Structure 1
């Protein structure tokens, strides 16, 4: 039986001219670490592959180290199984009016209840967010380019790193991992 594909997301690359990570190099790094069936989707650090073994955390850390060694910057790598991503999408708590305005931020860990309460103090306007397990769900009223809430402040108060993908991207990653 072939091991399952896994979805790997690297945080904050190819945004605003910093932390450039060409997708061909991202694929090559994963292959160099023993991954198979490697593919990427758009230039925002999305990788779908079969890791070399069942130690997903070790593979994520190896990817982080490889990026840092090759490109000179550190970025978190967060991975999920296809089932975990599908469950996160199914759990999205907001009406989806425009998929590109709705996001799932895949977090490195579940934030504490105290951190969530601290984040709730941040004004959101018509934007909405909710933490479900290790995922932060967001719906921007007017899109991520014009947020009413200070999403970086919410993220800092949650005190766990994460990387966001809009629902169009999440759906495409599920398709690629099928």
Structure 2
């Protein structure tokens, strides 16, 4: 049975660095035997089907392939449709009432507990807020990510140590649910 997945690539095609053309990404994924490969935007979102492997092994396989082909390491997370849907459905903020630019999800490669963020003075950043879920951080930034004062604090290397993390705006979160559906 084939499972539908989204591959989330971290830090590619930003500011001219780590260029990964989407046509090449699709071709590499097809060469790996993935089916129904498509990409969404230029920021490293690919959707595919696979009958073998699990999220971690597929992410490792794709990461190795990208590094061999492009000559640089790329953080890769792979998440199946059920997980992506659960993240969307568990959003602690009123997503339907917000603009997509106000709501973001940061996906993590593994579990991340509240203790990691214990040093963040949440009250100092209000009305911006964040909440943790299953391998995800939800960020509400009313003025958008570009002017958020909380987002840079949450992305400090010390807070992310030992994990791959990559963020998507709410439009992308919901689109990936749709694209990975049956």
Q: When the two structures are superposed, what TM-score results if normalisation uses the length of structure 2?
A: 0.88
- Extract unaligned runs of 5+ from structure 1: none
Q: Confirm whether residue 50 of structure 1 aligns to residue 85 of structure 2.
A: no
Mapped contact 2:35–2:48 kept (Cα < 8 A): yes
Deviations 1:28-71 (A, max 9, x none): 11111111111111101111101251333222111111111111
Alignment of 1:1-178 (within 5 A): 2-96=1-95, 97-118=98-119, 120-121=120-121, 123-149=124-150, 151-155=151-155, 156=157, 157-159=159-161, 160-178=163-181
Whole-Å separation in 1 of the counterparts to 2:149 and 2:117: 19
Runs (4+) of structure 1 exceeding 6 A deviation are: none
Q: When the two structures are superposed, what TM-score results if normalisation uses the length of structure 1?
A: 0.90
Mapped contact 1:125–1:148 kept (Cα < 8 A): no
Secondary structure of the 1:38 match is strand
Structure that is richer in helix per residue = 2
